[in-house]
Each structure stands twice: as structure tokens, then as C-alpha cells.
Amino acid sequence: MLGEMTIHKLLIKMGEVNASDLHIKVGSPPVLRIASQLHRVDSGVMTADDTAALLAPIIPANLKQQLEEKGGLDFSHMEGPTERFRCAIFHAGGAIHAAIRRVNPVIPSFKALHLPKIYGEIADTTHEGLVVICGVTGCGKSTTLAAMIDHMNETRMSNIITVEDPVEYLFVPKKSFISQREIGIDVVDFPTSLRAAVRQDPDTIMIGEMRDRETMMAGLMAAETGHTVFVTLHTADTMQSFGRILEFFPSSEHQFIRSTLANGLRAVMAQRLLPCVKEDIDRVPATEVLLNNSTVQDKIRANEDEDMPAIIAGSEHEGMHDFTSSLTRLVEEDFVDLKTAEKYAPNREALVSRVRGIEVTADKLIQRVKR
């Protein structure tokens, strides 16, 4: 029996307890996922009639036929002006079930994410070109991307269009104007949305993830024609990003793509999340940043990607840095212990040598003070 319980009250409760998901199933009370753990709501077990009645108010009228014909549907639902939910409603065992994800309305700042200042500088100074945020699954690249877009939202007046699958953070317009489009809900796919986006007078386009040739080409073309384009890419470091981008295209097109990248690329920023030793911080990012200067442009055109690590290491005065430098800073500032940093280091010996160099320098300074 539902009693006074409604779907609207459950959605509001998600925000109050910071739940990420709500599950509605026959034979169980509603279930909330809080901090990765499932918790039953204190109510009775739901029947098939209960779940149908509970979910009916949020199912769009124009999608009800689709639910009956296809057995399931995905849509976005707003509860008030700032609470957005991604809803998956589906038939199971002859009844209607649901999995509802709350879109995070709180976007962390650069400071909260412990990102180096170059991230803010790129967000402040980039008015055209491609910015790639890369890393493996679970490294926080989507959160970093959201922080960069929201920084622009707070500091400049521009028209921002996002194309996401799924929407992970809800942007509230501040100085900027923002349109968030979700694949499967607002538009059918990435290529269709990007073709439309360039006709919607955007200053900035955010692409949730580069997944296919058409999306990659549309993003490259938009960046080369004067738009700012932010994307995420699934690669471990900056150098691998070039190979990953080229994988989307036949070899006969590689030189053209390299030329387009050389002209349109602004920066490639990679990250890895490490456990933090400070009590109030769970994880911190180790980062690697490549900025597209004239030397990098020449290397991209000449298919000399293997030279990028040396360029990064020798260009820290420009804001570039490699993972070894970032890990060294994290150890030096007591965010990460050396043993943990070694596990994530691309070159363990280089890291240990750099850290020992810092330790020796510190010891010398202490000795001088004592004298």
C-alpha cells in the first residue's frame, strides 16, 4: 500500500539524504542508494498496482505508448527548478519497475578538486580550440570537465551547449546561457546533436565523450572554425590521446586529421585519482598537461608523438607538466605517501629520484637554518 507516499516525495527525499539512485520494484519497498549502499525506505512492500500508480505521474504522456510497445523507456524529469533526474522505466515480470538517477546539482570547484592552477587558466583564456580531458574509467575526468565548464559559466557571458550521455551534473546558468542535451532523451545521437549545435550560435560546446568517427570529426571541425570545444577521451595519458583520435579514422585520412589537430588543438589534460593521506580528503588527482605551442604543432604534423613527453618535461615554465612532476608535488605537499605515488608513477625510478632530490634540498635548508 502506498499510503501517503508519492514519487515526488521520494525524489525530494533523494536530495535530502544525498542518494544517487532510487529503485522501484514489485515485492519490495522503494530502495535508495546512498554512498554506494542500498537502503530500503520504511514503507510497505509494493504490488504491481502500487508501482504503476507511483510512477504514473512522472511518465510523459507522449511516451506511454512507447513503454507498452517497447517494454521500456528513458527520459529526463525535473522536480522544481534545480533537481533533475534521469529515469529508466521498464516492464519486468509483468509489472512496471524503475531505476531513477539523480543528476548531481553540486559542481565542485578547482580548489575542491585539488587541480593545478593551469586548469583555471585554460578555462579563462580559451576562446576557441579543442580541449581534451583524458583518463581511464573512474579517474574523475567528467567531474573535471564539469568544473571547467561551470568556471566559464561563472566568469564569462557566453552561449554553452552540452551534449552528454548521460547528463552527470546539472548546470545552473550564471553569467552564461546553457543548454544541456542528453543522448536518447533530447536528441537521438552525438553526430545529430553536434550538427545542430554549430547552427545554434554556440561559443562553447561540451561533448561528454568522443566515441566514434562522426563525433570526433564534428568536434574537430567545430574547434577549427572558431568554437571552444571541451571533450573527454578514454586514454591513460596525453601521448596516447593522439593515437586514440587517429584510431577513429582510416589511415588514408591520418595526415588530414593531424593537420586539423595541429591547427585546432588547445590542450590535452590527463589525470589519475590517488588515495589521499589527509583525513578530510578521499582522493586527489595526479595530472599531466600538454599545451599546443608551435613545437607541439610541428610534432603533431610530423607524426612524432613520441617526442611529446620530452616537450612536456622541458616546458613547465609554460604551464605544462608530466605525471612525475605532479606526483612529486603531491608527495612533497603531503597529499600522497611515496609508496602510493610509486604505484601510479609511469617511471618509478624517475619519481623516487625527484622526491629524494626535494628531500635533500629540504634537509640542506633545515641545516642552514640551524646554523
- Over residues 308-314, the mean pLDDT reads 94
Give the Cα separation of 163 and 231 in Å (integer).
10
Q: Is the previous residue joined to 30 through a cis bond, with omega within 30 degrees of 0?
A: no
Reported as half-sphere exposure (CB side, CA atoms, 13 A), residue 96 has a value of 19
Name 116's Cβ contacts closer than 8 Å, sequence gap at least 6. 287, 289, 321, 326
pLDDT digits (tens, 9 = 90+) for 25-39: 999 999 999 988 999
Burial 172-185 (b: 16+ CB within 10 A, else e): eeeebebebbbbeb
The one-letter amino acid code at 342 reads: E
Q: Which fold has domain 7-102?
A: Beta-Lactamase (3.30.450)
Kindly tell me if the per-residue pLDDT of 191 is higher than 80: yes
Give residue limits of the domains in the chain: 7-102, 110-358
Q: How far apart are CA 48 and CA 369, in angstroms?
A: 76
The length of the chain in residues reads 371
Residue 340 and residue 275 in contact, taking contact as beta carbons nearer than 8 Å: yes
Q: Which helix or strand (DSSP H or E) is residue 131 part of? A: strand 129-134
Topology, domain 110-358: Rossmann fold (3.40.50)
The whole-number average pLDDT for the span 161-182 is: 92
Give the residues across from 163 on adjacent strands.
Answer: 181, 207
User: Residue 102's closest CA among 166, 30, 43, 28?
Assistant: 166
Using DSSP's 3-state secondary structure scheme, residue 242 falls into helix
Average pLDDT over residues 34-53: 92
CA 229 – CA 121 distance, rounded (Å): 16
Q: Which residues contact 223 (CB under 8 A, 6 or more apart)?
A: 128, 129, 130, 229, 264, 265, 266
pLDDT at 347 over 50: yes
The whole-chain average pLDDT of the chain stands at: 91
Cβ neighbours of residue 79 under 8 Å, at least 6 residues apart? 8, 11, 12, 85
- Pick the closest to residue 235 from 201, 290, 272 (CA basis): 272
pLDDT of 361 strictly over 60 = no
- Which pLDDT belongs to residue 369? 40
Residues paired with residue 321 on neighbouring β-strands, in sequence order: 289
Q: pLDDT at residue 371 above 70? A: no
pLDDT band of residue 193 (cuts 50, 70, 90) is very high
Q: Are 207 and 163 in contact (CB under 8 A)?
A: yes
Single pTM value for the model? 0.83
- In this prediction, residue 359 carries a pLDDT of 57
